[in-house]
Amino acid sequence: PQSKLPALGTTIFTQMSALAQQYKAINLSQGFPDFDGPRYLQERLAYHVAQGANQYAPMTGVQALREAIADKTEALYGYKPDADSDITVTAGATEALYAAITALVRKGDEVICFDPSYDSYAPAVELSGGVLKRIALQPPHFRVDWQAFAARLSDKTRLVILNTPHNPSATVWRKEDFAALWQAIGEKEIYVLSDEVYEHISFASEGHASVLAHPQLRQRAIAVSSFGKTFHMTGWKVGYCVAPAAISAELRKVHQYLTFSVNTPAQLALADMLRTEPEHYRQLPAFYQARRDVLVNALSSSRLEILPCEGTYFLLADYSAISGLDDVNFCQWLTKEVGVAAIPLSVFCADPFPHKLIRLCFAKQESTLLAAAERLCKL
Ligand code: PMP
Ligand code: GLN
């Protein structure tokens, strides 16, 4: 058939993980932990399966989970969304992002995103007939220039997509960024899709700044999160989004025909987990900061230049001192010849990306990180 997405290939994450497997390389490319999530969560899943909670969940998500999310949101961001009208449980954050974009973006609407940007946004915008306007952020800090941002707005701007903590740059937005965003869009009918899947992995001293903590912006926003990141269970594919009732109603129209509803026993287990072990996510910044530091320290004698890392479980490294290859070819070479798989940064950018940067995932056991660093230090 004639392709609706002719320029699109297989995601870089799938490509690099496959190459890592083929060459038996240490896989620091695709973002997933090489350790297991909490025992308690696994036990609760088995419990709910044994109890017979094995039929369709309600379309919007099981009540206990939506209520636990509402309470967690209030505890963290000082705002309690309505569990019935404002919270929708989705098949991972990926589904939430797709449903949000499909619900909001009409043919010809302009959508602003910041490059480097996560790979699932652009195809969803394109399939909805939207026009993506990408604003390129610059290393090492990847901060938004709010004047330049305001200059990109037009009468057609419908949606702004942001991601904090940011994959792949590992930077985080400050409260001031949200204030500047509101100042730029407040008078216009522009919506905000805030991808906060790493909300519990911020190393900034002020913690995670959520769009949900901004009283005006949250009236226009869909905030997206993922239990896969928070509980080390990327394979469970359960996420959620929070948005005011009117926006949620539109999003649910898409969600109900995309997946209808999400794995019932997993939702019940996650509700138990949120209620019983909130310490898990409260300790997550320290947990991941320790892993980040293991990798940074182990690479200190390498010729890689490590960029600042304020959040997520990714670290950027500049390899200009090692190779003149472009980043895609460097990552192939690194996987095949050195035995370490990483992600090239240019794939997250539309414009030519002149930097020599790769992304390394540190959601790994210490032994994995040290083994990878040993290989990288020989370069
Ligand atoms: N957004 C970002 C920025 C991500 O890094 C990821 C996962 N890697 C997702 C969305 C998708 O999350 P999920 O696995 O829950 O679909
Ligand atoms: N989001 C993960 C990453 O950035 C990958 C998710 C996927 O493979 N689709 O590595």
| For the CA of 237, the nearest atom of ligand 1 | 15
Question: 61 CB under 6 A from ligand 2?
Answer: no
What digits encode the pLDDT tens for the residues 226-244? Answer: 999 999 999 999 999 999 9
Mean local confidence (pLDDT), 58-74? 98
ipTM greater than 0.85: yes
Residue appearing with tokens 């056991």:
365
Q: Tell me which amino acid residue 362 is.
A: F
Q: How many Å lie between the centroid of ligand 1 and the Cα of residue 145?
A: 25
Q: How many Cα atoms within 13 Å fall on the side-chain side of residue 196?
A: 24
Mutation choice for ligand 2 from 8, 12, 30, 117, CB with most ligand atoms inside 8 A: 30
Name the closest ligand to CA 239: 1
Answer yes or no: are the C-beta atoms of 316 and 169 closer than 8 Å. yes
| pLDDT at res. 10 | 95
Residue intervals of the chain classified under CATH 3.90.1150.10 are 12-30+283-377
| For the CA of 97, the nearest atom of ligand 1 | 10
Mutation choice for ligand 2 from 8, 10, 13, CB with most ligand atoms inside 8 A: 13
- What share of the chain in percent tops pLDDT 70? 100
| pLDDT at res. 243 | 98
User: What architecture does CATH give domain 39-277?
Assistant: 3-Layer(aba) Sandwich (3.40)
| pLDDT at res. 220 | 98
Q: Tell me which amino acid residue 270 is.
A: L
Question: 27 CB under 6 A from ligand 2?
Answer: no
Name the closest ligand to CA 238: 1
What digits encode the pLDDT tens for the residues 81-107? Answer: 999 999 999 999 999 999 999 999 999
| pLDDT at res. 211 | 98
What digits encode the pLDDT tens for the residues 291-309? Answer: 999 999 999 999 999 999 9
- What share of the chain in percent tops pLDDT 90? 100
Question: 168 CB under 6 A from ligand 1?
Answer: no
Q: How many Å lie between the centroid of ligand 2 and the Cα of residue 31?
A: 5
Residue 174 CA: distances (Å) to CA of 23, 141, 164, 211, 313: 41, 13, 9, 10, 18
| pLDDT at res. 283 | 98
What digits encode the pLDDT tens for the residues 144-187? Answer: 999 999 999 999 999 999 999 999 999 999 999 999 999 999 99
What digits encode the pLDDT tens for the residues 333-353? Answer: 999 999 999 999 999 999 899
Question: 234 CB under 6 A from ligand 1?
Answer: yes
Question: 165 CB under 6 A from ligand 1?
Answer: no
Confidence of residue 275 (pLDDT cuts 50, 70, 90): very high
Contacts of 324 (CB under 8 A, 6+ apart): none
User: What architecture does CATH give domain 12-30+283-377?
Assistant: Alpha-Beta Complex (3.90)
Question: 116 CB under 6 A from ligand 1?
Answer: no
> Whose alpha carbon is nearest atom 5 of ligand 1?
167
Distance CA 250, CA 273 (A): 29
The angle subtended at Cα 182 by Cα 314 and Cα 308, nearest 5°, is 20
What digits encode the pLDDT tens for the residues 9-44? Answer: 999 999 999 999 999 999 999 999 999 999 999 999
| pLDDT at res. 189 | 96
Instruction: Report which of 86, 78, 51, 39 is spatially closest to residue 273, judged by C-alpha positions.
Output: 39
Contacts of 374 (CB under 8 A, 6+ apart): 298
| pLDDT at res. 27 | 98
> Whose alpha carbon is nearest atom 7 of ligand 2?
13
Residue intervals of the chain classified under CATH 3.40.640.10 are 39-277
What digits encode the pLDDT tens for the residues 174-220? Answer: 999 999 999 999 999 999 999 999 999 999 999 999 999 999 999 99
| pLDDT at res. 295 | 98
| For the CA of 163, the nearest atom of ligand 1 | 3
Residue appearing with tokens 């939702």:
267
Q: Tell me which amino acid residue 276 is.
A: T
The angle subtended at Cα 150 by Cα 146 and Cα 152, nearest 5°, is 120
